[in-house]
Amino acid sequence: MRLALKMFRFLVAILLLGILGFAGWLTFSPPNGLVSASAYAAKMVCSNVFIAERDADAVIKTDLALTHPRIVERLKINVDTANQRVEAAYRGLFAKRYAQYEEGRGCTLVSKDEIPDRAEPPSLPGKPSALWPVGESAQLSDDKHLLATLNDPALQGPGMRAIVVVQDGRIIGETYGEGFNASTPLQGWSMTKTVNAALAGMAIRDGKLSLDRKNLFPQWTGDAHADISVADLMAMTSGLKWSEDGDSPDPDGLENLAHDAAAFARDRPLVAPPGTQFNYSGGSSVLLARVWQNAVGADARAYPQERLFKPLGMTSAVLEADPSGTFLGEAFLFANAHDWARFGEFLRMNGEWNGAQLLPPGFVDYMRSPVPASDEGHGPVYGRGQLWLGPGQGFRLPTDTFMLQGHLRQVIAIIPSRKLVILRMGLTREDIGYSVAKLLYAIVAARRSNE
């Protein structure tokens, strides 16, 4: 009997030591996957609550549940409305991460006791009650074909949040998902890349940067990295090792784990000579952001607002940065549907707005010019300005179609020959067979039948 009792106590002790060891491991050295999930949750809830003014529970039940279904129920997320701060932790105890909101700057991952820089937020003028794009009013078309298309659930797709159709500079059709409207800021995900490329173009117009500039970082001096040019970063042909696959640690490391995203991407090894191999990479977009920020200098923090958002009237636009101050130009621009459409129209107008040429003459044509190395069988799929080419992707649309595309089925299709800009945004899984192509085809067909 005594022997059995001793064995029982021994096993209990072993079990307790194991539990304490496991808890200690989670406390002092949690795995990167857990840290990344907590960071992602804190950041996404913070941005959607304080930028988009959405309900935190709704964000957790929809956005987080879709992207992190296996862990969301085990994350405890606290929203501190008074201090505009969000904390997320596994089981409420482990891998704690924090995101802090700053007016006009969005949310940034911070340490527990970190106080953000309370710089003066950018001021944007109010919009007059005029027709879009000057104001927010729209004279919607009564075309029955277009209306039927916009209200077809199968064409909208699951999780649709906004569809806007612009023709010849006017909004002619729009519809929104439940809980969303024309003023709700929405994350563009990789559509941000094209905006980031336009900001680089503005730095070029301002004489602060050039496409052929090399030796972009002191850390690249003296090796083959020094041959990477601005044009290579724009075209996703840097040659840096990177993977956007779901099982790759690269995007997680860039967005959720690294204090300095540009340094994380900068230190990737070179696996191909610059300019020779296409590799779609959020790291290249962040490096491009860091390059134009370095070129602009002291005014870089206000540059997106002053040079792009204010002139276009994109009053809802917020481009977020990492903790080091580098703009996350690969995915983290929030703007409402009308403002995203303004940017699409800006590209359709070749970088001109209200009679002012904001991008270098011919720069949008350069952005649309194909990257030969991106040919996947239908012709090049990618343009030199971090955008997608319709024909190369097999889209049965006019041959001049080019697109901004983002995670979870965000798209802005720009068709200059039809004077059309079509936006579709949502939260739509990419493994369920939904394609935005059918929506685009139907809208183009509806406008053709109306002519």
Residues with Cβ within 8 Å of residue 51, at least 6 apart in sequence: 101, 106, 107, 185, 318, 334
Q: Which CATH number fits domain 166-448: 3.40.710.10, 2.70.70.10, 3.30.360.10, 3.40.50.720?
A: 3.40.710.10
CA 236/CA 276 separation, integer angstroms: 10
Note if the bond before 116 is cis, omega within 30 degrees: no
Cβ atoms of 350 and 358 within 8 Å: the answer is no
Domain ranges of the chain: 32-110, 166-448
Give the residue ranges of the chain where pLDDT is below 70.
Answer: 1-30, 114-128, 246-248, 449-451
Question: Closest Cα partner for 283 from 271, 295, 298?
Answer: 271
- How far is CA 361 from each of CA 219, 321, 351, rounded to the nearest angstrom? 33, 29, 8
- The pLDDT score that the predictor gives to residue 21 is 46
- The pLDDT score that the predictor gives to residue 230 is 98
